[in-house]
Amino acid sequence: MALIVQKYGGSSVANGELIKSVARRVAEAKDEGNQVVVVVSAMGDTTDELIKLAHQVTEQPKERELDVLLSTGETISSTLLAMALESLGYKAVSLTGAQAGIQTDSSHSQARILRVDPKRIINELEKGNIVIVAGFQGVTPDMDITTLGRGGSDTTAVALAASLSAEICQIYTDVEGVYTADPHLVPEASKLEEIGYEEMLELASYGAKVIHPRAVELGKLYNMPILVASSFSNSMGTVICKEASMELRNKVRGVAHDTNVAKVTVIGVPDRPGIAMAIFEPLTKANISVDTIVQNASIENITDLTFTVARNDLIKAMSLVEPAAQSVGAKRCVTNAKLAKVSIVGTGMQNMPGYAALMFRTLYEKGINIQLITTSEIRITCIISEDRVKDAVQALHKSFELEDVA
Ligand code: ADP
Ligand code: ASP
Ligand code: MG
């Protein structure tokens, strides 16, 4: 008997009817003779609505309280799915993240899973239950509720699949798989049959929100195959697994975009040891991740330091950067919150010249100004104005001939 983990995203469980139809899909997997563990997200836009609600009562909700509040979204959908399965005649039990043994560190709103103790799940499976786990949440060693970051139910699913040695982790969502670009932005994007963990990790980390980057990381670590497919059809999805035939692949596999980007420039920083440490250490301590750091060559020992943070971290970041900049004698700080990242990704790009040039030419021909550039071995990212992101992604998709890739 195989054990499979399925995960259904927010739009797949957005209302009672949809929850009933997910229940029928789960029941089918059970009827095929599998042991089934299901992870669910909160219904529709519940998480956004709960965040709004918190902001109606305070400007700066306490992170501990916010995590408890947000976790209720997933708790609700897990109970409803268990009820829907019972009404179809299947034995089902819902578990919170804590009950399911998801233990995390205490970084509220961005917690990382430290370990999974699946004994309760195994126990329930042995009793013949379908086990429904509330995604996105865990518990600290002190029994405080945490959440795993937006989109984190995917990570719950892959972590459970790994700890239960499941045959596969199936992520069901509102698109039919992983495409060469967001199909809502590029209608001619192609669905990929298969993609390697590394490429998927870069795409997800740079904005392809079809799967949470931590989920891909865990998949890679435990060599857990992940299927991304539609909750609404039976068409073949995309399998994320070890890259088999790297050399045969199209060199660029996908274009990702991310509009959650803000840029900070600290102007007139003295060019001496210890400055970067003084600016970035407080951000690290506050758990704010910084990306794309650029320091200009200095003229007369004065330089500018530019970096990006997630847009929703900007206010918190500035409350730390401004005093740090002042203390090291910088002139002033300026910010721009209306930016986006566009990235091309592909393992085949490794050590092959020409990709950056084609990317820059494509953006130039569209009249799009590049503000910052960063690269990894298998990715090139340009930071541009947010209002040009759609044009940029569409043009890059065309330039790199991604319409007929599979
Ligand atoms: P869920 O609620 O099921 O977790 P998400 O909204 O988090 O779903 O992720 C699915 C969305 O990811 C799609 O609707 C699509 O707009 C977006 N997306 C971004 N990049 C890609 C891509 N390369 N392939 C497929 N979908 C993508
Ligand atoms: N409900 C959470 C969110 O909206 C987690 C998830 O959907 O994966 O981010
Ligand atoms: Mg998601």
Structure tokens at 123: 């126990």
What pLDDT does residue 382 have?
Answer: 97
| pLDDT of 18 above 70 | yes
Ligand 2, pocket residues at CB < 6 Å: 9-10, 41-42, 47, 73, 135-136, 150-153
Q: How far is the CA of 153 from the centre of ligand 3 (A)?
A: 7
Which is higher by pLDDT, 246 or 288? 288
- Locate tokens 């569209």: which residue? 366
pLDDT digits (tens, 9 = 90+) for 177-235: 999 999 999 999 999 999 999 999 999 999 999 999 999 999 999 999 999 999 999 99
Give the chain's largest Cα–Cα span.
Answer: 77
**Model pTM score:** 0.94
Same domain for 350 and 388?
Answer: yes
What pLDDT does residue 296 have?
Answer: 78
The phi, psi pair for 49, rounded to 5°, reads -65, -40
Q: How far is the CA of 331 from the centre of ligand 2 (A)?
A: 40
Q: What is the mean pLDDT of residues 278-284?
A: 93
In this structure, of 271-280, 375-384, 391-400, the range with the lowest mean pLDDT score is: 271-280
Same domain for 44 and 125?
Answer: yes
Identity at 269, one-letter amino acid code: V
| pLDDT of 377 above 60 | yes
Structure tokens at 406: 């599979």
Same domain for 338 and 211?
Answer: no
Number of domains making up the chain:
2
> In this structure, what CATH number is given to the domain that contains residue 303?
3.30.2130.10
Residue 259 covered by a domain:
yes
Assign 300 a pLDDT band (cuts: 50, 70, 90).
confident
Which structural domain range is residue 134 located in? 3-245
> In this structure, what CATH number is given to the domain that contains residue 110?
3.40.1160.10
Looking at 245, 271, 287, the residue that finishes a domain is 245
Same domain for 214 and 291?
Answer: no
| pLDDT of 276 above 80 | yes
Q: What is the mean pLDDT of residues 88-94?
A: 98
The Cα 363–Cα 371 span in angstroms is 12
Q: Is 344 exposed, middle or buried (0-12, 13-18, 19+ CB in 10 A)?
A: buried
What pLDDT does residue 161 have?
Answer: 98
- CA of 345, nearest ligand number: 1
What pLDDT does residue 255 have?
Answer: 98
The Cα 104–Cα 2 span in angstroms is 28
Q: State CA 158 to chain mean position distance.
A: 13
Beta-carbon-side half-sphere exposure of residue 301 (alpha carbons within 13 Å): 4
Where residue 320 falls (left for φ over 0; alpha for ψ -120 to 50; beta otherwise) is: alpha
Q: Which residues contact 22 (CB under 8 A, 6 or more apart)?
A: 8, 12, 13, 40, 81, 84, 172, 231
Pocket residue to mutate for ligand 2, from 74, 146, 158, most atoms within 8 A of Cβ = 74
Same domain for 179 and 307?
Answer: no
pLDDT digits (tens, 9 = 90+) for 118-141: 999 999 999 999 999 999 999 999
Residue 63 covered by a domain:
yes
Average pLDDT, the chain: 95
Same domain for 222 and 281?
Answer: no
Same domain for 195 and 261?
Answer: no
The Cα 139–Cα 86 span in angstroms is 27
Same domain for 192 and 266?
Answer: no
Looking at 188, 211, 245, the residue that finishes a domain is 245
Where residue 401 falls (left for φ over 0; alpha for ψ -120 to 50; beta otherwise) is: left
Tell me which residue of 161, 100, 94 sits closest to 130, measured CA to CA. 94
Residue 162 covered by a domain:
yes
| pLDDT of 401 above 90 | yes
Same domain for 207 and 341?
Answer: no
Residue 79 covered by a domain:
yes
The Cα 384–Cα 340 span in angstroms is 5
Same domain for 392 and 305?
Answer: yes
Q: How far is the CA of 151 from the centre of ligand 3 (A)?
A: 4
Q: How far is the CA of 184 from the centre of ligand 1 (A)?
A: 9
Identity at 191, one-letter amino acid code: K
The Cα 229–Cα 185 span in angstroms is 19
Tell me which residue of 126, 140, 156, 141 sits closest to 39, measured CA to CA. 156
Residue 406 covered by a domain:
no
Same domain for 180 and 291?
Answer: no
Assign 245 a pLDDT band (cuts: 50, 70, 90).
low
In this structure, of 59-63, 296-300, 317-321, 362-366, the range with the lowest mean pLDDT score is: 296-300
Same domain for 274 and 375?
Answer: yes
Pocket residue to mutate for ligand 1, from 176, 194, 209, most atoms within 8 A of Cβ = 209
The Cα 204–Cα 208 span in angstroms is 4
Handedness of CA 94, 97, 98, 103 (dihedral sign): positive
Assign 246 a pLDDT band (cuts: 50, 70, 90).
low
pLDDT digits (tens, 9 = 90+) for 337-361: 999 999 999 988 877 778 999 999 9
Tell me which residue of 395, 397, 393, 369 sits closest to 383, measured CA to CA. 369
Q: Is 145 exposed, middle or buried (0-12, 13-18, 19+ CB in 10 A)?
A: buried
Q: What is the mean pLDDT of residues 46-50?
A: 98
Residue 250 covered by a domain:
no
